[in-house]
């Protein structure tokens, strides 16, 4: 079940970015894409965040992206086409850089 109130923040194309904070509970950073062959999400910001694959992100659960260095890659070994959501711990915010290919 996808959260209906989650804002979609993805500009598409190379060099896209998404702002993630705790004010919305979870933020949609990459939509479902039936044609996705690759994607990478890099945490360029100053706060740790967590990803939800096909479901709302929950702090301290799911893939973890460390502030400033965390990266999550979707490739042939773990290919998923579901929407990706992100969340930070309470009171924090970060920026993800996103690249997707199809």
Q: What is the CATH number of the domain that holds 20?
A: 2.60.120.770
Q: Residue 4: which pLDDT band, with cuts at 50, 70 and 90?
A: very low
Is the whole-model pTM more than 0.75? yes
Tally of domains in the chain: 1
Give the integer Cα–Cα distance in Å for 100 and 39. 4
Tell me whether residue 5 is in a domain. Answer: no
- Judged against a pLDDT cut of 90, whether residue 102 lies above it is answered with no
Tokens 């009171």 locate to 91
Q: Which residues are CB-neighbours of 46 under 8 A, at least 6 positions away?
A: 67, 68, 94
For residue 23, what pLDDT is reported?
A: 61
User: Which among 39, 41, 32 is positioned nearest to 87, based on CA atoms?
Assistant: 41
CB half-sphere exposure, 43, CA atoms < 13 A: 23
Task: Give the tens place of pLDDT for each residue, 47-59.
Answer: 999 999 999 999 8
Tell me whether residue 9 is in a domain. Answer: no
């Amino acid at each position: 079940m996808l959260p209906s109130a989650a804002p979609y923040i993805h500009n598409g194309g190379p060099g896209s970015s998404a702002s993630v904070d705790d004010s919305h509970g979870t933020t949609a950073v990459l939509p479902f894409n039936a044609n996705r062959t690759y994607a990478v999400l890099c945490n360029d910001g100053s706060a740790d965040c967590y990803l939800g694959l096909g479901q709302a992100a929950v702090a301290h659960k799911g893939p973890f992206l460390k502030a400033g260095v965390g990266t999550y890659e979707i490739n042939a070994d773990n290919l998923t086409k579901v929407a990706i959501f992100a969340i930070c711990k309470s009171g924090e915010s970060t920026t993800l850089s996103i690249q997707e290919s199809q």
